[in-house]
Amino acid sequence: MNILEIENLTVWERSTGKVIIPGNSFAVKQGSCLAIVGESGSGKSATCRAIMRLNKPGLVQAGDIYFKGENLAALPEKEMRKKRGKRLCMILQHGMRAFDPSCVVGVHLKETLAEHFDWSRSDIVENMKHAMETVMLKHPLDIMNSYPHQLSGGMLQRVMIALAIVLEPDVVIADEPTTALDTVSQFEVVEQFIRLRERLGNAMIFISHDLGVVRKLADEVLVMKGGSIVEQGTSEAIFRNARHEYTRYLVSTKLALQQHFQRLMGV
């Protein structure tokens, strides 16, 4: 059963008419992880922001976005705001951009949860404290009282994952969540995404150009180039028997880098 169905999604620039996404269609199965891969500028992030209806004002979109059979594209903005967070949760590439730099992290968490739950302040703090501990964040109360710039990128990503645990969304959209992190933090954050899926059993869209991460997380893979979908299939099929030349190029490049690293390390 599909939880999300995107039909003929088109995104273009209002001022120039330049088409960024030329009428793509795909679906996300209930409980599965769909990875969207491709080089920078391939349209991965624009696609997922379009699903959330969060693209910049200079971009226009058309097409249908069915979530559990309901067309999100037809909803008034007030109704769409109710879906964001509680039903569809987006975790951004740069954790710093998700938080207001003038406020401590806890303010954002409390405002977000107050939008969706009729909880007291102490309930919100207790639920966030527990979720932050489950993603291996020490001293959660201190973190909630810290400004975003006082926390590392990896910590901010885990704070957003903890927020998703509390919200229990049906779909998590992660936009290159490991790109800005060092290798150790990347590993830790990917592990937390795996645990998040195990805990919630939700569907996930994971945007990445790191095919190693994709292979570990994804059930299905969608490959984009120049805004268009050039190939899609199961993770196993994409990595073992890619049909499109561009997909084969991405996979072979990843393998070459991996083998080079192993030679350097003497593995």
pTM: 0.87
**pLDDT, greater one: 137 or 6:** 6
Angle between helices 105-116 and 153-167 in degrees, nearest 10: 20
Name the band, by pLDDT with cuts 50, 70 and 90, for residue 255: low
176-201 confidence digits (pLDDT tens): 887 767 777 778 888 888 888 888 88
- Which pLDDT value is given to residue 171? 95
Is the confidence at residue 227, as pLDDT, over 70? yes
Answer whether residue 265 shows pLDDT above 50.
no
Of 150 and 199, the structure prediction assigns the larger pLDDT to 150
Name the range with the highest mean pLDDT among 6-10, 78-82, 111-115. 6-10
Q: How confident is residue 213, by pLDDT bands cut at 50, 70 and 90?
A: confident
Task: Name residue, tokens 């979908």.
Answer: 229
Question: What pLDDT is stored for residue 266 in this prediction?
Answer: 52
Domain 2-265 has CATH 3.40.50.300: yes
Q: Is the per-residue pLDDT at 263 higher than 80?
A: no
pLDDT of residue 198: 86
pLDDT at 43 over 70: yes
Q: How far is CA 193 from the centre of its chain?
A: 10
Q: Which residues in 152-162 are b (16+ Cβ under 10 Å) and which e?
A: ebbbbbbbbbb
Q: Are 230 and 246 in contact (CB under 8 A)?
A: yes
Question: What is the C-alpha separation between 94 and 98, in angstroms, rounded?
Answer: 7
Reduced to 3 states, what is the DSSP secondary structure of residue 109? Answer: helix
Average pLDDT over residues 141-157: 92
84-142 pLDDT per residue, tens: 988 999 988 777 778 889 999 999 999 999 989 999 999 999 999 999 998 888 999 99
- For helices 121-134 and 153-167, give the axis angle rounded to 10 degrees: 120
d(CA 193, CA 208): 13
Of 95 and 34, the structure prediction assigns the larger pLDDT to: 34
Looking at every residue in the chain, the average pLDDT score rounds to 89
Token pair 């004002």 in the structure block, residue: 57
**How many residues would you count in the chain?**
267
- Mean pLDDT, residues 10-17: 95
Tokens 């592990």 belong to: 191
**Sheet of 171-175, strands arranged across:** 88-91, 171-175, 203-207, 33-37, 220-225, 228-234
**Rounded Cα distance, 113 and 60, in Å:** 29
Query: What is the Cα–Cα distance from 83 to 85, expressed in whole angstroms?
Result: 6
Q: Classify 163 in phi/psi space as left (phi over 0), alpha (psi -120 to 50) or beta.
A: alpha
Domain map of the chain by residue range? Answer: 2-265
Token pair in block for residue 46: 């624009």
